[in-house]
Amino acid sequence: SPPNSASGDCPGPAATPRIVLFPSAGMGHLVPFTRLAVALSAGHRCDVSLVTALPTVSSAESRHIAALSAAFPAVRRTDMDLRLAPFDASSEFPGADPFYVRYEALRRSAPLLLAPLLAGASALVADIALASVAIPVARELHVPCYVFFTASATMLSLKAYFPAYLDARGAGQHGVGDVDVPGVYCIPSSSVPQALHDPDDIFTRQFVANGRALVAANGLLVNAFEAMEPEAVAALHGGAMVAGLPPVFAVGPLMPVVKLGETGEEQGNYRAWLDAQPTRSVVYVSFGSRKALARDQIKELAAGLEACGHRFLWVVKGAVVDRDDAGELNDLIGDDEGFLQRVQGRGLVTKSWVEQDEVLRHPAVGLFVSHCGWNSVTEAASSGVPVLAWPRFADQRVNARVAARAGLGVWVERWSWEGEEAVVTAEDIAEQVAAVMGDEAVAEKAASVLEAAARAVADGGTSHRSLAEFVRRCRGGT
């Protein structure tokens, strides 16, 4: 291959592509962006810079950015001070989710703050939540703009189709029914992200604007792989759900690269505890980085884990933003009856950050009770740990269906999510956990998903080739 020029002053096919990555907010978006940054920088010798908006919403994000800089100084950071373009969220969107409010702040700041960062860039890769504002800024400067979709290919298909679905409904019609995504399959109304049922929700407005903008991008990257979502990837390639969709690059599952490191606040020493447990004996339970279960549901989950008879590692969260999560573990799980004492040794419960990817790769872990945030699903796929899916909000039911269809695990579709009254009972939880833990066929299928994921990202695999093709286009300036 041609030698790479280290400087930006030698354009042409041999030049090192200069790629600017622009994530939105929350670990669910930052984590795949840093994985992409390292894959492009270390794996494909691109000159990569990551735009970071400071201060971050959560402290996990700021620790993650620091860990990235320490481990991969070649990925340059371009810090953007959001105070330069303030907006008064509390009056416009009272009570809105702080991460969605941050998307909105970034969307309003982008024209002012992003343009100066694009001088000399070969390409901009913007987060899906910022697509409709980033594309015009890049276009104005003649910089190709790609959109990185951090969730499943199936969710991307729904997103690309959703504006057409709304338009076809006609004036005066409200509510969102089952959505039959052309070329993919029907997403039942009950699996459509809660917010999308309300046209005025801050998330819905962004979702629809970004969905309409996809056709204006130079290409779409998605952290998914063909073998896991064959219908959606094929439909995206063929533009089945919307005319004029640009090229789609399925580049997942992107591999973990940085750890947040010890924080001092870490409780319970989960690594040593895991090392002491037998192979495939532990149920790992986590609902992601940014949502807390209701207190009554936490109580049922505690009782369910106690009753299931298996060892467990449970990460409990008490707040949407980690900085607000100051309470004691006992109070959080309503432990006035000695639950923690009774499960001592068999169960480890923590409020702290755990290195989830490391946990999933640990031989002691046999099952992942997961909310099915897409990063969690990709990490389960690339470690071969079966999932018991318990989606809670947003795209998670769509992802749970993907996981179950692919053979990565089991989804109990009747289990409630946010906005539904029913509490899933301890008895039900214990029964399902025990059933899946005891099912050898589920474990075998999950292992075959791991094999498919490994093939996709290996040299010559579908995802490896897609990323190389994306880099080739950046080098050629398209």
Q: Which residues are catalytic?
A: 29, 127
Taking residue 202's Cβ as centre, other Cβ atoms within 10 Å add up to: 18
SS3 270: helix
**Residue reference for tokens 């702080």:** 98
User: Closest separation between CB of residue 336 and ligand UDP, Å?
Assistant: 26
Instruction: Compute and round to an integer the Cα radius of gyration of the chain.
Output: 22
| 246 preceded by a cis bond (ω within 30 of 0) | no
Phi, psi of 39 (to 5 degrees): -60, -40
> Taking the complex as a whole, how short is the minimal distance between the CB of residue 11 and ligand UDP, in angstroms?
33
Is residue 127 a contact partner of residue 135, using CB atoms and an 8 Å limit? no
Judged by CB, which is closer to ligand UDP: 25, or 143? 25
Task: Give Cα separations from 284 to 12, 33, 149, 316, 386 (angstroms).
Answer: 50, 25, 27, 11, 10
* Closest to ligand UDP by CB, 47 or 357: 357
Q: Measured from the CB atom, is 67 or 343 closer to ligand UDP?
A: 67
- CA 230, 385, 382, 70 torsion-angle sign: positive
CB of 33 to ligand UDP, least distance (A): 11
- Residue among 392, 468, 467, 475 nearest 221 (CA): 467
Structure tokens belonging to residue 21: 């990555």
For ligand UDP, the binding residues (CB under 6 A) are 26-28, 31, 128-129, 149-151, 155, 159, 206-207, 210, 286, 288-290, 315, 353-357, 373-376, 379, 394-395
The Cα–Cα gap between 400 and 156 comes to: 15
Sign of CA dihedral 379, 381, 383, 387: positive
CA 388 – CA 409 distance, rounded (Å): 6
Rounded CA gap, 302 and 475, in Å? 53
Find where tokens 């219908």 sit.
Answer: 231
* Residue 378 beta carbon to ligand UDP: minimum distance, rounded to whole angstroms: 8
Measured from the CB atom, the residue of 254 and 433 that comes closer to ligand UDP is: 254
**129/210 Cα distance (integer angstroms):** 7
Q: Give 31 or 192: the residue with its C-beta nearer to ligand UDP.
A: 31
Phi, then psi, of 457 in degrees rounded to 5: -95, -10
**Nearest to ligand UDP of 307, 404 (CB atom):** 404
Distances (CA, A) of 59 to 103, 269, 419: 17, 20, 27
Min dist. Cβ of residue 271 to ligand UDP (A):
13
- Asked if 236 contacts 149 with a C-beta cutoff of 8 angstroms, the reply is no
Strand partners, 31: none
Q: Count Cβ neighbours within 10 Å for each residue of 440-474 and write b for 16 or more, e otherwise.
A: eebbebbeebbebbeebbeeebbbbebbbebbebb
Whole-number Å distance between alpha carbons of 190 and 194: 8
Measured between alpha carbons, how far is 170 from 160 in angstroms, rounded to an integer?
18
What DSSP character marks residue 344?
Answer: B
Q: How far is the CB of 256 from ligand UDP (least distance, A)?
A: 8
